[in-house]
Structure 1
Amino acid sequence: MHMNSLPQHLRSEDRREFERLLDEVLRSAPHRPELAAVGRRLSPAQLRTMAIAASALITVAAAAEYQRYVRIRDELRHPEQASGAAGSAPAEPGPAAAELAAPHGAGAVAVVAVLAPLLSATAAAIFLLIGYILRSLDPRQPIAGTMLTAGWVFGALTVAALLVAAVGLLVTALRNGASPESRARDAATEEVARARAAWETALLERGILPFLKEALADHSHYTGSDHGGPEHQPD
């Protein structure tokens, strides 16, 4: 069997994870007393080839953890399938659905927050422009002062509207960041990480390490020497 081929019961991304764990164990073998014979009885390359060839047996030791990890990961990646499997009866609309069903509240506020600064700024520019033009033509015209006053009032309203709009956007961003959907997804992501860690630990402790120790022990018994040499035959 090719040393990079693994059985199909592991998905491709998980086959790479199996090889990564195996390579890490082999690299750290000098620091593991139970694998101290690596390099003397069998080389790391030989052990890697043997482990990948026997991966079907090795991964069975962590089958329960792997099934749980895959199930939770699939639920996170495809939540619509998980919700569809739970039942076909229509669920009662939750708070998020209620907000979507009544768009006039938040939608109207958003429209006002955008249009108010734009309209007030336009009005301020128009009044100020007309006021300064009239004053330049005839400084004694009272309407010029009225136009200028109105322009500065609308200018102040523009600043106030911009501040209100900024506060509204900030509140909306904070509300969306702390939405139930966002918190649920964060919790699901953490659960996937815990399930993956549990699978990797089980695969390492109950699968990879026992297989490598058994392979080294079998080879020592076969050669009859701790150093892997043949037994001395009497003349």
Structure 2
Amino acid sequence: MTGTPALRPEDRPAFERVLRQALNTPEIRAALRRHGSAGAAAAERLRARALAERAGIATAAAPEYAAYLRQRNTVASCVRADGTPSAGAGARGLLSALAVLAPVLAAAATAVFLLLGYVLGYVPGLGGSGRELGDALLTAGHTAAVVTAVTTAGGVTWLLITAARHRTPATGPPGGAPGADEAWRQALLERGILPFLRDQLRQTQPGRQGRAAHPRRPTLGYTSPDFASPEFSGPGFTVPPSSSEG
């Protein structure tokens, strides 16, 4: 028989956040205000008691916590499998680098060819050979501009596909329901922490504390108003008359 999963150390900050949320609910805040000036101290005592009993409180949301752990383990397995080095991963890395570098190099070549072509083709005094070289450079610049546009479009497309492929395990992990962490926190709040806080507040009501602080006084041998003692009253005993009576 599988036991209830214990709250793991990495999930304790999440438990404390849910506890803080519970202490700030209108119901608990109204109950704390009934403690008067000791409200802040009472809230801190409640928080300390809940943290001390978090292992037992967490069992109230054990099914949701087990589902959350299964989803988290599945996501971790997918990430480890996707991050394993392989020849395909190296090729994808090389293609990603080319997708970034090729448009940059093509743009730089375009700028250089066009600049030199305009300088050699339109500066006077260079002669016919200068104009021919300038025209050739302008043609090369226009070709490089087309290459720049094509490589830029291809690089952007490749980067978008790669980003979508890497984002798929995080958005839809197989074998686990989406939002299992939120379901666990909600169950922990409604079935674990809030009932614990209500029970603690019922045990520390001001009226109950006042009655506990003033216990009943023990009944003495005399009662009001005649202060007759049970030790000296009853059958077989007669109170002697006063000396003033005749």
Whether TM exceeds 0.5 here: the answer is yes
Matched, 1:212 2:197: yes
TM score, norm. by length of structure 2: 0.61
2:230 aligns to what? none
Greater CA drift, 49-58 or 191-200: 191-200
**Which whole-Å CA distance do the structure 2 matches of 1:206 and 1:186 have between them?**
28
TM-score of the pair, normalised by structure 1:
0.63
1:209 and 1:64 map into 2 onto residues whose CA distance is: 18
Pair 169,230 (structure 1): closer, same or farther in 2 beyond 3 Å: same
> Residue 25 of structure 1 corresponds to which residue in structure 2?
22
Pick the aligned partner of 2:130 from 144, 148, 155. Answer: 144
The structure whose RCO (Cα within 8 Å, separation 6+) is larger is 1
2:38 is equivalent to residue 38 of structure 1 = no
Structure-2 separation of matches of 1:37 and 1:144: 92
Q: Give, as a single letter, the amino acid of the residue that structure 2 aligns with 1:13.
A: E
Is the aligned partner of 1:74 residue 2:73?
yes
Cα distance, 1:12–1:136 mapped onto 2, change above 3 Å:
same
Could you tell me how far apart the structure 2 residues matched to 1:127 and 1:35 are?
A: 78
* C-alpha contact 2:118 2:138 (8 A) present in aligned 1: yes
Instruction: Name the count of aligned residue pairs.
Output: 199
> Is the 8 Å Cα contact of residues 123 and 154 (structure 1) preserved in structure 2?
yes
Matches of 1:82 and 1:165 in 2, distance apart?
31
State how 1:27-176 maps to structure 2 within 5 Å: 27-28=24-25, 31-32=26-27, 36-38=30-32, 40=34, 43-79=42-78, 136=125, 139=127, 142-176=128-162
The percent of aligned pairs where both chains have the same amino acid is 30
CA RMSD, aligned part only? 4.0
- The more displaced of 36-45 and 156-165 is 36-45
Q: Match for 1:226 among 191, 202, 207?
A: 207
